[in-house]
Amino acid sequence: MNILDELAWRGALNQMTDEAGLRKLTTEKHVGIYVGTDPTGDSLHVGHLIPFMMLKRFQLMGHKPVILIGSGTGSIGDPSGRNSERVLQSMETIQNNAKKLTAQMERMFGRDNFEIVDNYSWLSKISLLDFLRDYGKLFPVNQMLAKEVVASRLESGISFTEFTYQILQSVDFLKLYQNEDVQVQLGGADQWGNITAGIDLIHKIEGADAKVYGLTNPLMLKADGTKFGKSAGGAVWLDPEKTSPYEFYQFWFNQDDADVEKFLKFFTFLSQDEIAELVEAMQTHPEKREAQRRLAEEVTAFVHGEEAVKQAEAISAALFSGDVQDLTADEIKQGFSQVPQKSSPAAAENIIAWLVDTTGIEPSRRQAREDVQNGAITVNGQREQDLDAVIDPTSHFDGKYVIVRRGKKKYFLVNVAD
């Protein structure tokens, strides 16, 4: 199967500059293909995964993916998708972000048949006069103004700095074509104008017969028409310090039935037959959420590794059963980050005083005694019904946490002071 057929089946194709030419090229040889990302933040989020999932598919079919970290372009700002100028960051911040993005990419793509480049290595060497003479002369202003990413900003205003972004991105494509044998650029739908500008530049400098192509992925929308990529708490990050692997897993597990088939096609590497079986199982027994579980397993493994999947599933099982005593301190931190937080000193204390006076989990001593006697209180997975029980906050989870469950579902995370 040609890579384009695979992408089409998965609903991953939007625009192509020359489908017949690209199909012929990818049939005849393994091509270099790149995706660019600017290091304006220290982590990617799930929305950024969209073009990178397509890039990974090229890699799995033998083509060579190249990821361009745009420390150069990122230092001036990309006008696409916003109505205002980007706040410029220091080069120190940009370089630190670039290191973190590189680590995320290497986890997903490995180190074989894959390359990461940074456009700062060539853009920083171009003088203003060279930029104007060698490249500026090749970009008619009327064509630049017609590009959607620029035209959409004309009413609100756009600086000359961000106006030139499409020239710099075009230079990127040219340099990768000349030095890395990259013939294809892949990006989001909002990058179409920049991609075609790069192709035009290559044809003007290298000749009209230069075989270079562009393609974009469609805007990812959920079944309800809202944009994919956000959770109730905001962005879902690939950095485990920003979004824990457990929270990442839960984001995918909680997807609506109406979106699961689309997301299985786009965000996993499962075969057509495997996806068809999961969709059938979802339609037959939707309450089991087998398709959602497989979706969560596959994407979490791709981004964080198999061990993170096992950890997320262990946390999920413990939360469901209430059997939390075998979880590690790190798993407690992940799984209980969204429950009400309390604090406690490390000193041991009578359970009633601890529940009322120290942590405020119970509103009164009368209520605390009643809940303890009725078996409604569990501490670190153990039901406590003895009014004289003593709570030692340092007895579990490396002495960092105490987990209290009141009733069947109400959890509290008690952070133990050092």
Only one residue has tokens 């980050």, namely 337
DSSP state of 13: -
Q: Is 325 annotated as a binding residue?
A: no
Chain-centre distance for alpha carbon 80 = 19
Q: Is 211 annotated as a binding residue?
A: no
Strand, coil or helix: 390: strand
418, 379 in Cβ contact below 8 A?
no
Report DSSP letters for 252-287, one per residue: HHT--HHHHHHHHHHH----HHHHHHHHHHHHH-GG
The H or E element spanning position 189 is none
Q: Residue 331: is it exposed, middle or buried by C-beta count within 10 angstroms (0-12/13-18/19+)?
A: buried
298, amino acid identity: E
Q: Is 100 annotated as a binding residue?
A: no
Taking residue 352's Cβ as centre, other Cβ atoms within 10 Å add up to 19
Residue environment code for 127-151, b if the CB has 16+ CB neighbours within 10 A, otherwise e: eeeeeeeebeeebeeeebeebebbe
369, amino acid identity: R
List beta partners, residue 115.
66
Taking residue 11's Cβ as centre, other Cβ atoms within 10 Å add up to 14
Q: Residue 300: is it exposed, middle or buried by C-beta count within 10 angstroms (0-12/13-18/19+)?
A: buried
Among candidate residues 315, 307, 313, 255, the one with its CA nearest the CA of residue 286? 255
Q: Is 249 annotated as a binding residue?
A: no
65, 58 in Cβ contact below 8 A?
yes
Residue positions in the annotated binding site for L-tyrosine? 34, 165, 169
* Binding-site positions for ATP: 230
Binding residues: 34, 165, 169, 230
